[in-house]
């Protein structure tokens, strides 16, 4: 199974959620379930372990669903992943679901990286500029990266805009080396 399989699973869940206008809730629920597996990896491994009977794995998934208060459709979806042993794709499914949610909402995700903390005002200006140029709403995240020395790096989906001093110094170094050769 691959990321394309994860995308198909995510799309199926999103489509079911759209039918009842529950797709945003489903997104929260599936992320909550994935978070449970991240903090308790032994639970995740038990769901994949064929030493346990299918009924035991379903019962375990039902307990997780109840504890996290998952809706019936999301609980059934996760039960289906357990039965097909595709629960191992859950992180990829969650990532694909998020991308599909963004597409449906007309939203872009961007990450701003800087060597220093940026004030909310500066991040708001960056967000507004990105929104204006893309014509879409932008969900902006910030990541502190001191190794950049100065400047910014902005990642928008699969595109990187690198205006960091570190990269500028590396480019200058390459030009100097090329000129010396």
Within a 10 A sphere around the Cβ of 93, how many other Cβ atoms?
27
The answer to whether the Cα torsion of 158, 127, 101, 135 is positive or negative is negative
pTM, two decimals, is: 0.77
pLDDT, position 85 = 87
Taking the C-alpha atoms of residue 28 and residue 149, their distance in angstroms, rounded to an integer, is: 36
pLDDT, position 120 = 86
Contact 140, 113 (CB under 8 A): no
Taking the C-alpha atoms of residue 90 and residue 98, their distance in angstroms, rounded to an integer, is: 12
Going from the first residue of the chain to its last (181 residues), give the mean pLDDT of each consecutive group of 10, the final group possibly shorter.
Answer: 87 96 96 94 89 91 94 96 92 96 93 94 95 93 94 92 93 89 64
Please, what are the domains in the chain? Answer: 3-102 (1.10.520.20), 107-180 (no CATH)
């Amino acid at each position: 199974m691959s990321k394309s399989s994860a995308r198909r699973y995510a799309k199926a869940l999103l489509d079911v959620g759209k039918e009842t206008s529950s797709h945003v809730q489903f997104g929260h629920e599936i992320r909550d379930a994935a978070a449970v597996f991240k903090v308790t990896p032994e639970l995740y491994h038990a769901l994949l372990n064929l030493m346990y009977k299918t009924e035991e794995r379903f019962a375990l998934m039902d307990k997780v669903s109840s504890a996290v208060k998952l809706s019936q459709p999301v609980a059934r979806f996760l039960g289906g992943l357990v039965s097909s042993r595709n629960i191992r794709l859950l992180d990829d499914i969650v990532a694909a679901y998020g991308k599909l949610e963004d597409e449906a909402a007309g939203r872009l995700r961007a990450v701003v990286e800087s060597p220093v903390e940026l004030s909310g005002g500066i991040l708001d200006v960056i967000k507004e500029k990105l929104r204006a140029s893309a014509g879409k709403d932008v969900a902006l995240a910030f990541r502190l990266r001191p190794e950049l020395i100065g400047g910014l790096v902005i990642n928008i989906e699969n595109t990187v805009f690198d205006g960091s001093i570190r990269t500028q110094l590396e480019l200058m170094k390459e030009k100097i080396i090329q000129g010396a050769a």
